Amino acid sequence: MAQAESAGRSWRKPRAPREPRSGGLRRLAALLANYQSGGLLIALLVMGAIFTSMSKNFLTHRNLTVILLQVSIVGLVAIPQAMLVLSGYVDLSVGSVAVLAVAMFGQMARVDHHSLALSIAIALAVGAGWGLMNGVLISYLEFSPIIVTLGGFAGARGVAETITHDVTQFGFGDKFAYLGNGTILSVPVPAVIFLGFFVVGAYIWYEMPLGRHMMSIGADKIAARSRGVSTKLIPCVLYVFSGIAAAAGGLILTSELDGASPSIGIGLELQVLTAVLLGGVAFAGGRGSLWGVLFGILFIGVLNNGLILLNIGPYVVNLAVGAVLVAAAGADAFYQRLERIPVAAAEPVAAEPEAST
């Protein structure tokens, strides 16, 4: 009898092992990362509703146009910055590169009296050249991205001040003014440029192999190199495009103000990096969404605009932007900790005994 019971028990299938808690935490990390951009969109809509209820001037065509103008320059620079961060790199010199390109533009157009087209081309070439220098030093010579771009943060602005001698050049004409103040179908030209760049960036990010290569470089550079990914050329090219985007943003802002001011680009690095991190791009690379970056750009722009409409001082606005950056960095660190939690391997299931004949 006892032997029959034991034989019956041996025929029962063993219980499946319980899934370790760490696996659930990793799934939680993936879930949070996937829905971060959606949650940011909801937060953006809620914040817009709050500002609409507190200020009758918020949800107007004129104010929405102002918001589009404010976010266009940050968004233009944030697209290549997001690609760099996705690849595990960063560019902290974009604001200084913008003012350097603007200083060169003002020198060429107003002091040396060159044509507008040539002056714009040289300004963009200056941005591309500085980005190329960053790319060679970082990608090929393997210098630290933070140290090199911090050096560019100080060096490019110093060169710009040497060129301008703190003198603002102005009066570039109506044709150049159209770049920053014109409209296309009632949409500001800077917003049209930004949306065009975003469409191109989204196509690269989601549809081209380059987007997967950037993500693989940020996730594991050695593994990406072993698979034939150009782990040096791709970041170098991204730094070049980052410099071009910074120069283009500086030119648009110069057109809006009709003045090549040496103070252009101050704080641009903070705004761009805040939008990128807030949009869910991991600072260590390997994870991110360009749609999330778009929502992060709009979030920062709406926050700044709404606080100004409520007559809140600029110091509080800067404090709010800094708090958002810290919150974004904290969320990124939280995701990384969850992703590093090891997952225990499931115990092998014992094979069922064969029936005796």
> What letter does residue 108 receive in the DSSP assignment?
I
| 26 located within any domain | no
With respect to residue 56, please indicate whether it lies within any of the assigned structural domains.
no
Residues 320, 321, 325, 328, CA torsion sign: positive
* Tokens encoding 344: 């225990």
Distances (CA, A) of 1 to 4, 7, 8, 304, 355: 5, 10, 11, 81, 19
From residue 344, alpha-carbon distances to 22, 24, 33, 255 in Å are 8, 11, 22, 58
Residues in the chain: 357
Which residue's entry shows tokens 């009709």? 258
Is residue 342 very low, low, confident or very high in pLDDT (cuts 50, 70, 90)? low
Range of the domain at 249: 34-48+61-339
- The answer to whether residue 11 scores a pLDDT higher than 80 is no
- pLDDT grade for 349, boundaries at 50, 70 and 90: low
In sign, the C-alpha dihedral spanning 316, 50, 330, 206 is negative
Residue 317 CA: distances (Å) to CA of 46, 81, 121, 265, 308: 18, 23, 35, 17, 8
327 token code pair: 């919150």
What letter does residue 14 receive in the DSSP assignment? P
Phi, psi (rounded to 5 degrees) for 188? -55, 140
| In-domain check, residue 274 | yes
What is the b/e burial string over 232-265, where b = at least 16 CB atoms within 10 angstroms of the residue's CB?
A: bebbbbbbbbbbbbbbbbbbbbbbbbbbbbbebb
CATH number for the domain that contains residue 178? 1.10.3470
CB atoms within 10 A of CB 77: 33
Structure tokens at 276: 């990128």
- What phi and psi, each to the nearest 5 degrees, are found at residue 169? -90, 140
Q: Are residues 236 and 136 in contact, defined by beta-carbon separation less than 8 angstroms?
A: yes
Q: Is the pLDDT of residue 136 over 70?
A: yes
- In angstroms, the CA 179 to CA 99 distance is 17
**pLDDT tens for each residue of 289-319:** 899 899 989 988 998 899 888 888 767 777 8
141 or 170: which leads in pLDDT: 141
Domain count, the chain: 1
Q: At what angle do helices 189-206 and 174-181 cross, to 10 degrees?
A: 60
- Does the pLDDT of residue 243 top 90, yes or no? yes
Put simply, whether the predicted model's pTM sits higher than 0.85 gets the answer no
Domain-located, residue 43: yes
- pLDDT of residue 21 exceeding 50, the answer is no
The pLDDT of residue 315 = 72
Q: Say if 228 falls within a structural domain.
A: yes
* Contact predicate 55/310, CB 8 Å: yes
Pull the structure tokens for residue 143: 């210098």
Residue 184 lies in a domain: yes
CA 94/CA 81 separation, integer angstroms: 9
Please state whether beta strands 183-184 and 187-188 pair in parallel, antiparallel, or not at all (unpaired): antiparallel
224, part of any domain: yes
Is 16 domain-assigned? no
One-letter amino acid of 105: F
Q: Which pair of tokens denotes residue 229?
A: 């990914």
pLDDT of residue 351: 52
